[in-house]
Every structure is written in structure tokens, then in C-alpha cells.
Amino acid sequence: MARENWKRMVGAVAGLAMAAAVGLAAPASAYAIGGGDTAFDCQTDQEDWETGEMLPKCIAAVGNTPYYTMAEAVAAAKNGGTIRLLSPLDEAVTESVVIPADADITLDLAGKTIVNTAGKHTIVNRGKLVITDSSAKHTGTVDNVSNGKAAIVNYAGASITLDGGNYTRSAEASKLTDPSTGTASANGNSYYVLKNFGTMTIQGSSVVRFSAKNAGYGSSLIANGWYNSSDTDGDAATNKYGIAEATLTIAGGTMTGGRIVVKNDDYGVLDMTGGTIIQPTSQFYALLTYHKATVTGGSITAPLYPLGASGVRNAAGDAGQTTVGGTAAITSTNGYAMRAMDNGTLTVTGGTFTSGNGKGVTERLASSLGTPTVAISGGTFNVAPASGELAEGFEPTRNEDGTFGVTAASNRFDIAPYRAASGYTAPDAPEGQVFAGWYADAALTTPVAADVTSGYAYARFLPVSDVIEFRGGSLRLDYGSDDYAKTSLRFGYRMPKALGLTSSAVKWTYEIAGKTYGADAKNPYDDGTYIVNNLVFTGVPLASYATDITVTASWTFTTADGTTVTATETAGDTRSVRQVAKAVVADASAGETVKAYAQGLLDAMGA
């Protein structure tokens, strides 16, 4: 509460006269708050003229009422009030502050600095707190100078919004003892600047760093969640391990330095939509997350490790769920844009990514804690995402500016339009190919069940020539080996059984001397490896031995998922008796009987 023995100034003349009457010097300085008749002067180096005691310095105000301790100001402002720091002579306010659980307070730093009482956190928030800085130069600061203590600790169940201001540990003493490995020493004074067990939002012009002289090497800059089950800040009831998820929202501000700039630890939930995270030190992370993190905006940069996505198998507080998308910009000057580790799952749906080493988008490191997975389905990259990084059904594309993107694979479809109750149909196949079945996976290893009628699936397309294999033309000795007046010409076709297709019918169309005819297969047979169907022209007369016959095969089959499809050769197969006979004669592997027969046909033609 305000000190009533702080006398109002009656007027400049009266004040000077009083001072002269008792032999006191004029005030060294005065810090006025309020205005008009209710103005108070927060004086320094001033004695009370009635008691002779030195008057205290008012360090904060709630409205027009000055307060001489932060505890008094907090009590006065707890029901939705605003505390404004005063700090005469620009001295730091040295007092640790606890915001009670039932308080709802705004603290305006007003360009001033508040620093901790020795051995304590500067601000512990158990209630609802918003911190702003109304100063034009944004110099308001929350500082801590004690080892093992933070500028701000936000307790479980509490909420705090940092909407401006500087948050520091100006006496941070940690040292980097081996830059090549990142080995560091606390050197007697190190800790987080911000520690959150509850709900924290960083936005606006907020700046979080250790100090201008020390980037921070012994501790993370911002810790969200629990390090382990003993990490309760001495209040095991309020900050019980995993009592609730600790939520950190980064919508703005600049965060720089620390062994990890932002550590999203056990039961930590991070939502980054803006702001800037900068790691200046090689071997250290800018953002390292173990539980749940979504990054859809802002920028994250580091020499080697801008973003690390980890997780622990079967650990409830280390779910390892990380999603990056939107307008997020992640840059590694010398390494991979992202690192997926342990049991972490990294899903990328958008954003801009720069890997300084040019080797790939992500580095993936398995351990005894699990095996990481990466699924990229969107974004812009300076290197093409590799097959092990791409989401199932996606493939890399090259942009006009030389960067890379990803796009859904051309064979990924919504299966519903092709699964009507009236019958299953197949999607249009690329030129020269035929649909060969629906599969549940991009690798085309698991056929979609016949009763599945919705969802996404992958179409298997095969070259028509792989389904309908034309084996060529051959001669049949249907009329004896010495009758050359007529012969039989066979067109051989087969379908590999390994394709997993069930043959149901084969038809041919053929053209002779400008006329088109049709025929159905009558005697297919299974030789164990192929389904064989041959079209045989019998009784071809000597006069037609030079006549070309062009055959086009159409093969109907059922895929593994139950879709019936017909494949048709894209071009006909042309042969004549003379052409086949010449090929037989020239074939060193042909038997002597058939070679002699072929030569007899040619001799009969005079060829």
C-alpha cells in the first residue's frame, strides 16, 4: 500500500522554504507520477522533515498511487490492475516478485529494469500475468543475476504473455570449453532465462537472450515442460511431472543463444506461428523438441542444427510429434535444415528450407530410443527431398527458380469414383500403359481389399507390352514337311503369371489386304509361368505367302483388388509367311527340320 508519510509538495516555493528552514538540501531528483492535484513525487536522497529518516524510493505505481515494494504493488493490482515500473534515477528495481494464483495483473516495464533478489527467480507467476513495455526505445528488462535462477518461471496452471520487453541473465558466466564438440561449463552462474510449466506466449517486440557479452553455453535459453520427474522448481504439488502439458506459443519476438535456444521438453507443446529463433553457436540447436511441436511461421536459423525433432519410444511425455508447414523458414548455414532423431516423427507440409551442406533436407539418426520417420508433402527446398524423406505418394519437383518442391504422385487417387456399386472401373492409364490394380501403399506391395470403396489408393500402371507379350511369328508343319503349297502361320502371345492378374479372355483383330477381321481365343493354356494364347492362320496358300497380316491383341483380366480391365496393344504385330520363313532360315538356333521346311516355302515362292 502507499506510504502515507510521504508528504505531498505544497508548492515549489513552500518546499524550498521548508528545506531551508530545517537546513536540508533540495531533493537530488524527483520522479513524478499521475497529474494535477493527485500528483505524487517519488523523490530520492530525501529526508522526511518530521522524522529525519531517509524517505524510500517509490519503485512502481498502480494508477496514480506509488508503491515502494513490488509486493505492495502486486497486492494492489491483483484484480486486473496494471503495475508500472518507476525506478527513479533509472536504477534497477531489485526485488523478486511472486504473482499469486488468484491474481490477474499487467506489468508495464516502462523502459525500466527489474532484477532479482539474490538467490531467487526474478518473477514467479502462479496466476495470470501480461508483461508489456510502453517505452519508446523498448528498454524495459526483466533480469536475473543468480546461478540456477531464471528471469521468469511460469508455474503449472498459470498463464503469462510476454508482449514486449527484454528478458535476460546479464551475469551469465557459462563458457564454451571446446567449440568443436560443444562442450561447455556453467562456470558458476548459468540457468534458463525463461522456464514454463504452464501456458506461455511470446509475442510483439519481446527479446530473450542471456546478455550482450555471453551467448549462453551452459543452459537452454527457454525451457518448456519438464526436464525429468524431479524438475518441479521446489513445488512438487503445483508443478508435478506431467500434471498437464506445458504450452508455449511463439507468435513474435527474437530469441537468441543458449545451448538450445528453445527446448520443448517432456510434456511440452510448442506452437510457433511467428518470431525469430537464432542459434549463433555451432554444435548447438536452435529448436529441439521431444513432445509435440507445430511450426507454421517465423524463422529458425543455426550453423548446424536449426531444428531437432526427437521422441522416445513408449514415453508418454516424449511423444515425438513435430509438424512444420505454412510460412516457416528454417535455415542451416552449414548442415541439414532439420534433424530427426530417436523415435521422432517429423511431418513437413510447407515452409522454406535451406540446407547449407547441400546434402539433403534432413539428417535421420536412429538410437536405442527408437527410429525416426520423416514425411515431406510440401515446402520449398534448396536441395531435392530424397525418397526416404518424402511422404508416401509424393515425389520431388524442380521449380523454375532452381529450388525444389514436392507434389503428389501421379498414380495417387481418391478411389471412391472407381468403386461404384454398379461395378468397379479403372482410371485412365498413361499412354502405352494399362491399369493393373489398386494398392494401399506407394510401393505397390499391398493390394486394396475388394470391399474397400473409399479413401486414397495408388494405381499400378504397367506397360501394355509387359502384360501382352508378343513372342513373334512361327510356322506350323500342319501339312507335312514337304507340302509347300499351303502352310500355317502362328502369332504367339502370353501374359506373365507373376503380374498377379487373372486372365479371362483374349480377342484379336487382324487385317489382311485392307480388310479387318476378328477372332476370339479358344484354347489358352497355363505353362506354369505364363498364360499362353496363340492365333493361328491355317491353310495359307502359296499365293499369299508374301501378304502381310497385322494382328492386334486385346487381353481382358481381373486385378488383385477385383477390377476388370482390358489391355489392347498400341500397335499391331505384322508378319507374313515369307518374313517368318526367312527369319527361321537365318536363325542358328532353329532345328534342321523346320529350317528345311522354311527354305522349301521360300523356294516354292521363288524367293
Whether residue 230 is contained in a domain is answered as yes
This prediction has a pTM of 0.76
Report CA 497 to chain centroid distance, whole Å.
Answer: 42
CATH of the domain at 517: 2.60.40.10
Residues 386 and 534 in one domain: no
Whether residue 29 is contained in a domain is answered as no
Whether residue 144 is contained in a domain is answered as yes
Give the chain's mean pLDDT: 91
- Angstrom distances, CA of residue 70 to CA of 115, 359, 511: 11, 54, 101
- Amino acid (1-letter code) at residue 510: Y
Whether the pLDDT of residue 496 is over 50: the answer is yes
If DSSP codes are grouped into helix, strand and coil, which group holds residue 254?
Answer: strand
Whether residue 533 is contained in a domain is answered as yes
Whether residue 217 is contained in a domain is answered as yes
Residues 120 and 266 in one domain: yes
Q: Do 352 and 386 form a contact (C-beta atoms < 8 A)?
A: no
**Span 530-547, pLDDT tens digits:** 999 999 999 999 999 999
Query: What string of DSSP letters covers 355-391?
Result: ETTSS-SEEEE-BTTB--EEEEEEEEESSPPPTTTBP
> Strand 412-414 and strand 419-420: pairing?
unpaired
- Under the banding of pLDDT at 50, 70 and 90, the label for residue 27 is very low
Whether residue 557 is contained in a domain is answered as yes
Residues 537 and 423 in one domain: no
Q: Of the residues 222, 241, 270, which one is the last residue of a structural domain?
A: 270
Residues 485 and 394 in one domain: no
Q: What is the pLDDT of residue 235?
A: 96
What sections of 538-591 are H helices per DSSP?
Answer: 577-586
Residues 344 and 432 in one domain: no
Angle at 283 between CA 279 and CA 284, to 5 degrees: 40
Residues 129 and 192 in one domain: yes
Question: Maximum Cα–Cα distance for the chain, whole Å?
Answer: 151
Q: Of the residues 242, 270, 298, which one is the last residue of a structural domain?
A: 270
- Percent residues over pLDDT 90 in the chain: 84
Q: How many CB atoms lie within 10 A of CB 51?
A: 9
Whether residue 71 is contained in a domain is answered as no
Residues 326 and 429 in one domain: no
User: If we measure between CA atoms, which residue out of 523, 578, 522 comes closest to residue 547?
Assistant: 578
Q: What is the pLDDT of residue 24?
A: 35
Residues 383 and 437 in one domain: no
If DSSP codes are grouped into helix, strand and coil, which group holds residue 26?
Answer: coil
Q: What is the pLDDT of residue 442?
A: 83
**Span 49-62, pLDDT tens digits:** 677 665 567 899 99
Between 481 and 43, whose confidence is greater? 481
Q: Of the residues 409, 430, 446, which one is the last residue of a structural domain?
A: 409
Q: What is the mean pLDDT of residues 12-22?
A: 32
Whether the pLDDT of residue 34 is over 70: the answer is no
Q: What is the mean pLDDT of residues 239-245?
A: 96
Q: What is the pLDDT of residue 25?
A: 36
Residues 575 and 482 in one domain: yes
Whether the pLDDT of residue 38 is over 90: the answer is no
Counting runs of H as helices and runs of E as strands, what totals does the chain give? 5, 52
Whether the pLDDT of residue 7 is over 50: the answer is no
- Angstrom distances, CA of residue 87 to CA of 1, 41, 134: 17, 12, 14
Residues 225 and 336 in one domain: no
Residues 116 and 248 in one domain: yes
Residue listed under C-alpha cell 516478485: 97
Report CA 20 to chain centroid distance, whole Å.
Answer: 72
538-547 in b/e burial notation, b at 16+ Cβ within 10 A? eebeeebbee
Q: How many CB atoms lie within 10 A of CB 347?
A: 18
- Percent residues over pLDDT 70 in the chain: 91
Whether the pLDDT of residue 40 is over 70: the answer is no
**Span 112-155, pLDDT tens digits:** 999 999 999 999 999 999 999 999 999 999 999 999 999 999 99
- Angstrom distances, CA of residue 291 to CA of 241, 281, 319, 344: 14, 24, 5, 9
Q: What is the pLDDT of residue 47?
A: 59
Q: In this structure, what are the phi and psi dihedrals at residue 281, rounded to the nearest 5 degrees?
A: -105, 130
Q: Rounded to whole angstroms, how far apart are CA atoms 461 and 453?
A: 20
**Span 246-273, pLDDT tens digits:** 999 999 999 999 999 999 999 999 999 9
Q: What is the pLDDT of residue 423?
A: 83
Q: Do 328 and 350 form a contact (C-beta atoms < 8 A)?
A: yes
Whether the pLDDT of residue 37 is over 90: the answer is no
Whether the pLDDT of residue 321 is over 80: the answer is yes
User: If we measure between CA atoms, which residue out of 51, 47, 91, 97 comes closest to residue 73?
Assistant: 97
- Under the banding of pLDDT at 50, 70 and 90, the label for residue 14 is very low
Q: How many domains does the structure of the chain reveal?
A: 4
- Strand 412-414: give its sheet, edge to edge: 412-414, 456-463, 433-439
Q: Which domain holds residue 541?
A: 466-605
Q: Which residues, other chains included, contact 429 with Cβ-Cβ below 8 Å and sequence gap of 6+? A: 435, 461
Residues 190 and 250 in one domain: yes
Whether residue 201 is contained in a domain is answered as yes
- Under the banding of pLDDT at 50, 70 and 90, the label for residue 18 is very low
